[in-house]
Amino acid sequence: MVDTSDIRREYGLGELRRSHLDACPHQQFDVWLQQAIKSRKIVDPTAMTLSTVSLDNFPTGRIVLLKRHDHGAFRFFTNYTSDKAEDINFNSNVSLSFAWLELERQVIISGEATRLSPEDNALYFESRPRASQIAAWASFQSANAASREELDERYAACEKEFEGKKIPCPEFWGGYDVTAHSIEFWQGRLGRLHDRFRYTRTELGWDLERINP
């Protein structure tokens, strides 16, 4: 057994007050995201944990990358035959979590995921590195793989097939927009009395409340 009970640190980099927060949670998210990017302390500032629920009602979390954020949604891309896509087909309610631990901050988004149009998928797919485009065709994401050699052979076959050609966006690959119902901002504080604020969408806009840590 590995005992981790004594592993802890204090959080004292800052505080979060209501007066610090923008009236719009999307604006506030943009501020924190830019600070995470510019800090250069965080290796993958756009990495987020996407949590979904399966047909068997088991939750699963995995890391995906935020590819776009605007005042409507948070966007990511995946294979539409993957486990995460199957979960979203069953239950489109998802959670996104950003852990910017070097800044002692977290953001949690709860919302609904909807598929992008084929046009939006193709537009982003064209911007990807060629190796990533080939990998999208070669990987049967979430399906069992007999060996690493099988994956490498399939990649090589796709690479040969598309040699000298523009690689089209696969029909089985694309993105989702997550429209937020609530967005929570967490700032670590000394003594574990952290600052938490949650925005909740209403018919009139966004309600903002401080939440106990």
Question: Parallel, antiparallel, or unpaired for β 68-69 and 74-79?
Answer: antiparallel
Are 16 and 195 a contacting pair, CB within 8 Å?
A: yes
Helices then strands, each counted (H, E), the chain: 5, 9
Are 90 and 53 a contacting pair, CB within 8 Å?
A: yes
Closest CA to 180 of 22, 25, 20: 25
Annotation marks residue 201 as catalytic: no
Token couple for 94? 């998802």
40, 192, 196, 210: which is the annotated catalytic residue?
192
Give the CA count within 13 Å in the CB-facing half-sphere of 110: 8
Are 95 and 108 a contacting pair, CB within 8 Å?
A: yes
DSSP 41: -
Catalytic residues: 192
